[in-house]
Amino acid sequence: MAQRALYDLAGKTVVVVGGGSGIGEAVAFGAAEQHASVTVLDANEGAAKAVAARIGGEAAAATVDIRDRQAVDDALKTIVRGRGGLDVVICTPSINVRKPILQYTGDEFDRVVAVNLKGSFNVLQAAGSIMTSARHGSIVIFSSIRSQVVEPGQSVYAMTKAGIVQLVRTAAAEFGPFGVRVNAVAPGIVETPLTAPITANTDWQRAYANKSALKRWARAEEMIGPTLFLASDAASYVTGTVLFADGGWTAIDGRFTPPGM
């Protein structure tokens, strides 16, 4: 197979959960540019439909609350009936409540876990059921640098992102014999609606930019390549891995540059 064809998604049905905004939106457009038949799923029906309309062609949209296992299952089965199969599922949604552990409420804990961890599990379980039966497919779930490194106020968010890593690894072990690959993308700091409160604060924005080796934030579009690599045949022997797209954040300490350097 020609190397360029390895990344081609022509003839493949790709579902982007959380495709109504941010990284999910960028990835949905990227998949369409690689000739995939894209379905955008999002809790915000209007946003999902707007993205699908801008993509055009065969792109479709529907609403789904990933906290609801049955709703996720129904949404993916509907896509299978309409498209004739399911090749790639990409799950991007997450929320964060930044608070010290001692100030976290039970409701806040439940809300973050319900979306980030339970929601990702629901998508993985529903997609895995379909794909293992079909004996092919690729699932990409979004983790974060917070699965590895933390800061004050990130306890529950970091916990869920670390949980996703182990969830992906276990799914890779269980689904692999059926020809289904499962991987995670772990972004660093990306300009999205989720990070808008940070980018609005000049000092905070600059501090994060300076922590990465590249000294800048990522654009949502820069997550397309890592995600579609894992989704495509270019990664046909890649499963159970975490791809850090973090500008070098987790590779460097960055607190002090020794004299003479």
Active site residues: 157
Which residues are CB-neighbours of 22 under 8 A, at least 6 positions away? 92, 190, 192, 193, 194, 220
Cα(37)–Cα(55) distance, integer angstroms: 10
Shortest CA distance to 140 belongs to which of 187, 77, 84?
A: 187
Which residues are CB-neighbours of 203 under 8 A, at least 6 positions away? none
Cα(201)–Cα(246) distance, integer angstroms: 20
Helix axes 69-83, 119-134, angle to 10 degrees: 40
Helix axes 106-113, 155-175, angle to 10 degrees: 30
Shortest CA distance to 93 belongs to which of 183, 25, 35, 45?
A: 25
Q: How far is CA 172 from CA 34, 137, 146, 245, in A?
A: 25, 11, 21, 20
